[in-house]
Amino acid sequence: MMPYTMVIDGFCKKGDVKIGFKLLKEMQGDGHVPSVVTYNVLMNGLCKQGQMKNANMLLNAMINVGVVPDDITYNILLEGHCKHGNPDDFEKLWSEKGLVLNYASYNSLISELNKSLKNHQKR
């Protein structure tokens, strides 16, 4: 299973998330169950491309197949929502799922808010 995830990660880092999802289907077709790491890799790829709606749908899909999101999953979503100008969407998700932010979450949030403030000051 790990080799699939590593290859999916490579494609997602190159910006080719579509091939990552094709490999996910192939992985599942071969009888392998994707782990939270596999889903995190895909989610990170979606977030880097600003596909937050798809990232949220992937979260729901992974939960529906019984894969439990971890702190990394939610930090990926937090960072993605902040970078792409919709932290309120993450706040809604956060409330719905009853999440508790950890140190890494606060670090991501502060970092993104700082970047946003600097960008706003440049205008």
**pLDDT tens digit sequence for 61-88:** 999 999 999 888 988 988 888 888 676 6
Number of domains in the chain: 1
pLDDT of residue 79: 85
Output the domain CATH number for residue 108.
Answer: 1.25.40.10
Residue type for position 104: A
Q: What is the pTM assigned to this prediction? A: 0.79
Nearest to 52 by CA among 25, 73, 81: 81
CA distance 34 to 38: 6
Complete DSSP assignment for 83-119: HTT-HHHHHHHHHHHT----HHHHHHHHHHHHHHHHH
What domain range includes position 73?
2-122
